[in-house]
Structure 1
Amino acid sequence: MSVAMPILVLQRTGSAVLAGVVAAAAMAPLVLSALFGGALVDRFGRRRSSVAADLLSAAAVAALPLLDMTLGLGIPLILGLVALGAVFDGPGMAAREALRPDVAAKAKLPLEKINSWGEAVDGIGGVAGPGLAGVLIAIIGPMNTLWATVIMFFLASVLTFTVVPSVQHTGGERPAVEPYWQSVWQGLKFVWTEGALRATALTGMLIVLFLTPLSSVIMPAMMFQAGKPEQTGFVLAVFAVGGIIGAIGYGVIARFAGRRIVLLVALLLTSLAFLGFALSTNFGWLLALALVTGVVSGPINPVTAVVMQERTPEVMRGRVIGTITSLSLAASPLGAVVAGPIVEYSGPATAFLIIGIGCLLATVYAALTPGLRKIEPSDAPFAPAQQKVTT
């Protein structure tokens, strides 16, 4: 969907600005739904919430081609349906992230390895998704390509329900459920007062601000201007391949390399790699640089995921992860909206320079903030609770 929607808007309007507005419509509701949905994950259960979110997201995406075939779709209706789908994505993201320690307990494996594998699996989806999207867009068009997204959401819900373990909380019965708004506030307060979590959220906010437009605006516009919009999917797929390699690589070196140094080196190399995209629009260069960028950025998500999981009480995991996700994404609509005019009036090269500089700013913040100075296993105030996992 992230590939098909901007291409669809560009085909119908020719405007990178509107493509950015549609991308913002997909991100803005996600910010709030992650924040308020995390408390629902803690209330109703991680696995149940993940399954429900995927099914509802599938329905929202399916509405786009169905309405286009019947009533017709204008940009306002596209914006509304994209926003509706994003409402369900927030709780789903929080639930899936919160499930990883449950899987680690079931498999009796370290969190670093589970998170590196988890990011690698996400990357496989990143390879298959954009690559398949590129082929389908060329054959059946961007609107019909959305049916592939519907199928993937449905299969994800089935897989989660049948494979991921349900969890019995430590101590037997589930703790008493506090009022909903109180639980939302507790998640916010916990994240903001815990230094490492606050720093993780703010670092993520800086990165997301500059990277959000990459796949939704900048790369599609670059390929569209070159007359080869279908190549967007292939570049993004190669980026995902690199991410898989980098994530798995972190799982291998996690026992030997300190988390802080891995995080800072990954952020620095990622910044330099994105600056390289401004040098040439040659397709071979873009593919090679996308692979390198994916590899060097691959460890970032596993490191930050482990930090979140080790510093959060088990009963608060959903709302804390949801809050961090929300704070990290808070600037994403701004990034998407601003990127459109930059690309349209200054070109993609300028946009890539801004991305690289923005990632350098995130690197400097991560290096200087006290919150990320002690993120090794021995520094964690909470290890994920040992749970009895039932099938």
Structure 2
Amino acid sequence: MTTTAPRLRDDPDFRRYWLARALSITGSMVTAIALPVLVYRLSGSTVLTALVTALEAAPYLLAGLFAGALADRWNRRRTMVTADLVNAVLVGSIPVAHLFGVLTVVQVLVVAFTVQGVYTFFDGANFGALPVLVGRARVAQANSAVWTASSLIELFVPPLTGLILAVLNPATLLTVDALSFVASALAVRGIVRAMSERREGLPPLRPRVVFADIAEGLRYLIRHPGVRTMTIVGSVQSFGGGGFMALIVVWCDRVLHVGTSGLRFGLVWGTWGIGGLIAALGLPRLLKRFSPAAITLYALPVSALLGVLTPLSQDWVTAAIALLVWGSAYVLVIVNAVSYRQQVTPEHLLGRVNTAGRMLSWGVGWTFGAVVGGVLGRAVGIRSGMVLMGLTIFIGVVVAWTSPLRRIAATHDPAAV
């Protein structure tokens, strides 16, 4: 485990890791905007457009636990490279099909689901790779660097994507994501240091053994009060956030009247990235004064409040400002919880525990939130449906403030609990 480098920016292997994540995030952000726009233009359906958002997280329900268990056994570098290359082919199939005039909504939805299924294996390996690569003492700093890049990308890519979508078909634009997966694979392949500790004496890989590995990771998550509570509240927040994001394209078009392309559409989407940037830059500084438990306790109510106020915005400027503030609190809850899990979880359980946590928050919370949001948007209207989804985040606030997080925050030493 390497902890000697004084600054992450001076570590060539971390720079390669950071570049890989930045490239992949750039492509994924383009796809996150282009895919729902593509489905909306092909079908005109609110439900099908919301389904794209649901399919982003649904694979975690089916493969998340298995991906984490296997990633703790496999070579993490090889797993990440393979997943990137497979996804390059899958995403690339959409612009190819469009070029030949055979693209259908079914293909787009199948690719959206399959890409995320493959990505669960990348994610499982990635969660365990980072603490080994940089050392646990620098995990929060490393995550901050990655999330800062992600937030900057979310700041500049959506407006640019919105402008490009005014002149280019969203299917063609997905070529960017396919190429980003290839570039990410090359960057990860160039990392010299190990991203896995040696595995010796492991039993042969059989179904019974895999299920036992999964159970071991789940037991740790359930028994650790801090990890358990942050996972629960993260799932609740993701439920509300998934419902909102499932309707955001239709909201921009029918409520804010900025359409599904152009500068204003991109700016509304991009202000979330500014909020994420603020959160990513602020987390290492906040951790010098507060425990991760305290950060969750105070950031979550802000996220819940803005989850309700944002859909009530009367114009695109107000909506953009509200998304900026909400993005700050929302992302702060997420990156804080991820860093905390990576710091307190034993190395041999990193993939399992983190993918289990992501399965519950992203897979369960986001998926069902997107489905419910799509149904509510059709049943009670876009704005009302969004407000109802935002209100659900207050359930997480109640859970957090009646949980062991209050005691953990008071001790300022959650890792010792």
Name the residue aligned to 1:387.
none
1:221: which partner in 2?
Answer: 250
Note if contact 1:199-1:372 (Cα within 8 Å) is conserved in structure 2.
no
Work out whether residues 296 and 336 of structure 2, in 8 Å CA contact, stay in contact via their aligned partners in 1: yes
Structure-2 change in CA distance of 1:90 and 1:331 (3 Å): same
TM-score (norm 1): 0.88
Indicate whether 1:95 and 2:125 are aligned. yes
User: Match of 1:321?
Assistant: 354
Determine the C-alpha separation between the residues in 1 that align with 2:330 and 2:91: 29
Report deviation, 1:109.
Answer: 5.3
- What is the alpha-carbon distance in structure 2 between the residues aligned to residue 168 and residue 222 of structure 1? 44
Question: What is the rounded CA distance, in whole Å, between the counterparts of 1:119 and 1:176 in structure 2?
Answer: 36
Check 1:32–1:233 CA distance in 2 against 1; reply closer, same or farther (3 A cut): farther
Tell me if structure 1 keeps the 8 A contact 2:291–2:412: no
1:239 Cα deviation from its structure 2 partner = 0.7
1:312, 1:320 within 8 Å by CA — same for their partners in 2?
Answer: yes
Separation in 2, partners of 1:373, 1:55: 45
Question: Which of these residues, 116, 125, 138, is aligned with residue 110 of structure 1?
Answer: 138
User: Which residues of 2 match residues 113-262 of structure 1 at below 5 A?
Assistant: 113-163=141-191, 165-167=193-195, 169=197, 173-178=198-203, 179-215=209-245, 217-225=246-254, 226=257, 228-230=259-261, 231-262=264-295
- Displacement after TM superposition at 1:262 (Å): 1.6
Q: Report the CA distance shift for 1:120/1:233 in structure 2 as closer, same or farther (over 3 A).
A: same
Match of 1:354 among 376, 384, 388: 388
- 1:309 is aligned to 342
Shift of 1:245: 1.2
**CA–CA separation in structure 1 for the residues paired with 2:100 and 2:319:** 39
Q: Hey, what does 1:268 align to over in structure 2?
A: 301
The aligned runs of 1:8-19 (5 Å cut-off) are: 8-19=38-49
Give the alignment partner of residue 337 of structure 1, picking from 354, 371, 376: 371
Q: CA deviation at 1:57?
A: 1.7
Give the share of equivalent positions with the same residue, in percent: 23
Quote the Cα distance in structure 1 between the aligned partners of 2:73 and 2:148.
Answer: 29
Identify the residue that residue 386 of structure 1 maps to in structure 2. Answer: none
Q: Label 1:282 to 1:33 Cα distance change in 2 as closer, same or farther (>3 A).
A: same
Q: Retained in 2: the 8 A contact 1:47–1:164?
A: no
CA distance in 2, matches of 1:30, 1:249: 29
Give the match's secondary structure for 2:166.
Answer: helix
Aligned to 2:81: 51
Which segment is superposed worse, 357-366 or 325-334?
Answer: 325-334
String of CA shifts for 1:39-92, please: whole Å, max 9, x gaps.
121111333222222222222111122223336132223222221111111122
Q: CA deviation at 1:370?
A: 2.2
- Which shifted more, 269-278 or 23-32? 23-32
Counterpart residue type for residue 134 of structure 1:
G
Unmatched runs of 5 consecutive residues or more in structure 2: 1-30, 204-208
| CA distance, structure 2, for counterparts of residue 88 and residue 372 of structure 1 | 37
Is 1:293 equivalent to 2:326 in the alignment? Answer: yes
Residue 34 (structure 1) shift: 2.0
CA contact (8 A) 2:240 2:307 kept: no
Answer with 37-46 or 118-127: which moved more: 118-127
SS of aligned partner of 2:311:
coil
Q: Which amino acid aligns with 1:38?
A: G
1:227 positional shift: 5.1
Q: Is the 8 A contact 1:20 1:338 kept in 2?
A: no
**Is 1:70 paired with 2:100?**
yes
Distance 1:68 1:196, change over 3 A: same
Distance 2:196 2:356 in 1: 23
Aligned pairs for 1:370-385 (under 5 A) are 370=404, 373-374=407-408, 378-381=413-416
One-letter code of the match for 2:79? S
Map 1:10-49 → 2, pairs under 5 A = 10-49=40-79
Question: Could you give the per-residue CA deviations for residues 87-107 of structure 1, whole angstroms, max 9, x where no partner exists?
Answer: 1111222222322213432xx
CA distance in 1, matches of 2:265, 2:374: 16
Give, in whole Å, the separation in 2 of the partners of 1:109 and 1:158.
Answer: 27
CA distance in 2: counterparts of 1:103 and 1:189, whole angstroms: 26
What RMSD, in angstroms, separates the aligned Cα atoms of the two structures? 2.3
Q: Could you say which residue in structure 2 is the equivalent of 1:363?
A: 397
Q: Distance in 2 between matches of 1:104 and 1:372?
A: 30
